[in-house]
Chains A and B, each alone.
Chain A
Amino acid sequence: MYFTVVAVNVGIFVLLALSLNIIIGYAGQSAMGHAAFFGIGAYTSALMTSTMGISFWISLPVALIVTGIIGAVLGLISIRLKDDFLAITTIGINFVVVAIFQYSEIFGASLGMTVSKPLFFGVKMTAPMYLTLIFILIVLTCLFINKMNKSWFGLALASIRNDEMAASSLGIDVNKYKVLAFTLGTAIAGLTGAVYAHFMTFIYSSDFAFIVSISIISMVVVGGIGTIKGAIFGAVLLGVAPELFRFLADYRMIVYGGLLVLMMRFQPQGLLGDNSFIMRNISKIFANIKKQKGGGQNAGNA
């Protein structure tokens, strides 16, 4: 049971990291308030199921769409800003959204919101069922991102990330694509929030605070920005790390923070990013296997 719960939590982080990666990795926009959208999805679905009595399964796509729309509007307002200005603006958005959750009566204000456990064909959802749901969502998200990267849209995002000015001189509506990436990323975060709310059965404004945004960014950066494998690896690593370092008790945050500092100093491209220490060695091993295979075949021919 403990492992399943940890696994669901890690899976939620994987989805968050994958979705944030669309914005900061593929579109290259420094968004620092991802947890806000995670929260918007969580509260949207919680309102639907627990206050209005609508099915959890309907609340999932609604949370996705509502968060996507809010993401698009906020994106339209802020995406014209560049780099550090966008970062500060999105941090501001995060604080405002958390404050709204904390002070609005409909969101339970400072008492938080109790979320009723959803039913799946008449049975109350158990942790393994959540794990399955999360796993399916992760697979779908990966397939979607993969497809996106191979499309014109993905190529356009790559060009924007490389050089915005050159991209717009080639006929690419830079702002439109940035907002689109922002919308997609926030929508997936909203969907994740809906699952999170019903898995935890209780949500509180600080679950979606700025510190959570920072954790998600750390996952993407540590794993390897701009890659699917990096985002997943980073989320699993940093998601599991607090559990692994539990024996260090009060010192685990020091270890966690220290890891981040060391990473940025020695592997800024992330553990699984291009030309990282790990990827270099993996490709070396593969090259060796290939060589041996090739050698074996040659020997056979002789």
Chain B
Amino acid sequence: MSMLSLVDVEISYGQMEVIKKVSIEVNKGELVSVIGPNGAGKSTLIKAIMGLKDIKSGKIMYDGIDITVMPAWERAGLGIGYVPEGRRVFGNLTVEENLKMGCYKVKDNNKNKNNINKVYELFPRLFERKNQLAKTMSGGEQQMLAIGRALVLEPKLLLIDEVSMGLMPIMVNTCFKIIKDLNDSGITVLVVEQNANKVLKIANRGYVIETGHIVIEDTAENLRSNDVVKKAYLGS
């Protein structure tokens, strides 16, 4: 059963085409990764799925609904969660306020409290710092907050952009473990990542994107043993 499908999506910045006829399929319950080098168009692609970047042509279907021209805030209401590249937490708001923003769409206070508490259970560190301004936290803590903020929305599909960027190795492992756990709990996940080695260990399937084209599409296991991928991304 398809959760998300991109059909022949093309995206450009002005005259420059950055995504050329890309088709991606994510099934319900899957953890799919898009890997590729810097500048391949990974972030652009995930922004387009969230509705933060307009697409030039093609179609985006989510859970049976055509969301191609839907604004981002409506997509959020349909259950698409987004963890942006570089965290982008609300620096001048406290941790708790950041999480409250995450449940903006749900006006049921009890439910919101419940969802925020669930995030605190997942990240006890955030509970300890709940009254602290987000900008005063470390990169890893901010990443937890960015994930938590997307989770209070109770997303069915979670889009994660470069979770490992700028984090120390131990935090990277923690973040990937959490993503795997979230996927196990039933959330469909699409991860865009440069750290191919790590992400292919937790993903079910993967796409390799290069200069706006999908060049390889396979199961994560096959990708790990694929010679091209090995050479270009796994460093062996």
Contact = CB atoms under 8 A, between A and B. Distances in A.
Interface of A: 152, 155-156, 158-159, 161-163, 165-174
B93 A158 contact: yes
18 contacts: A152-B104, A155-B93, A159-B93, A161-B92, A162-B93, A163-B90, A165-B52, A168-B72, A168-B73, A170-B73, A170-B76, A170-B104, A171-B76, A171-B77, A171-B105, A171-B153, A172-B73, A174-B73
Contact of B52 (A156, A159, A169, A172): A169
Contacts of A170: 73, 76, 82, 101-102, 104-105, 149-150, 153
A159 B90 contact: yes
Contact of B71 (A162, A163, A168): A168
Interface of B: 50-52, 71-74, 76-77, 82, 84, 88-93, 97, 100-102, 104-105, 149-150, 153
A172 B101 CA distance: 9
Given A168-B72, A169-B76, A169-B84, A156 B104 contact: yes
Nearest to B87: A166
Contacts of A174: 73
Contacts of B92: 158, 161-162
Given A170-B105, A170-B150, A171-B73, 7 more contacts: A156-B104, A162-B93, A166-B89, A169-B72, A169-B73, A169-B76, A173-B71
Nearest to B98: A159
B52 A167 contact: no
Contacts of B73: 168-174
**Across chains A and B, which 7 residue pairs bring their CB atoms closest together, nearest first?**
A171-B76, A171-B105, A162-B90, A169-B82, A168-B72, A166-B88, A173-B73
A165 B88 contact: yes
A258 B89 CA distance: 37
Contacts of A167: 90, 101
B104 A171 contact: yes
Nearest to B146: A166
A155 B100 CA distance: 9
Contacts of A152: 104
A224 B97 CA distance: 22
Nearest to A158: B93
B165 to A, nearest CB: 16
B134 to A, nearest CB: 9
A159 B101 contact: yes
A151 to B, nearest CB: 12
B92 to A, nearest CB: 6
Nearest to A177: B73
A166 B72 contact: no
Given A168-B71, A169-B84, A162 B76 contact: no
A162 B102 CA distance: 14
A199 B73 CA distance: 45
Nearest to B84: A166
A133 B127 CA distance: 47
Nearest to A175: B71
A168 B52 contact: yes
Contacts of A171: 73-74, 76-77, 104-105, 153
A155 B76 contact: no
A288 B82 CA distance: 45
B185 to A, nearest CB: 21
A25 to B, nearest CB: 12
Nearest to B152: A170
B84 A165 contact: yes
Contacts of A172: 73, 101, 104
Contacts of B102: 170
A44 to B, nearest CB: 34
Contacts of B84: 165-166, 169
A150 to B, nearest CB: 11
A158 B50 contact: no
Nearest to B134: A162
B136 to A, nearest CB: 12
Contacts of B149: 170
A160 to B, nearest CB: 9
A155 B96 CA distance: 12
A156 B100 CA distance: 10
Contacts of B153: 170-171
A169 B50 contact: yes
Nearest to A176: B73
B142 to A, nearest CB: 12
